Amino acid sequence: MLYWALVFLVVAIVAGLFGFGGIASASAGIAQILFFVFLVLFVIALVARAVRGNAPR
């Protein structure tokens, strides 16, 4: 999922450079949403692992 966030971020930057404002803002919005979804899932995974008591390797 982080991969897709980075892909949409690159698309937004390229579209912004060429002056496609609508495409750039849409891609940046999608990248931001995907990044925050990834971040929330990462935190949930860390909390679940801490609650179970498994030590990281």
Phi, psi of 53 (to 5 degrees): 90, 10
Q: List the domain range (segments joined by +) for residue 32.
A: 2-52
**Distance from chain centroid for Cα 27:** 12
- List the chain residues with pLDDT less than 50: none
Residue type, 54: N
Beta strands in the chain (DSSP E): none
pLDDT at 9: 79
Q: Is 47 a domain residue? A: yes
Distances (CA, A) of 11 to 2, 28, 51, 53: 14, 8, 39, 41
Q: Is 57 a domain residue? A: no
**Predicted TM-score (pTM) of this structure:** 0.61
Name the domain count of the chain: 1
Q: Is 35 a domain residue? A: yes
Q: Is 40 a domain residue? A: yes
Radius of gyration of the chain (CA): 16
pLDDT at 54: 64
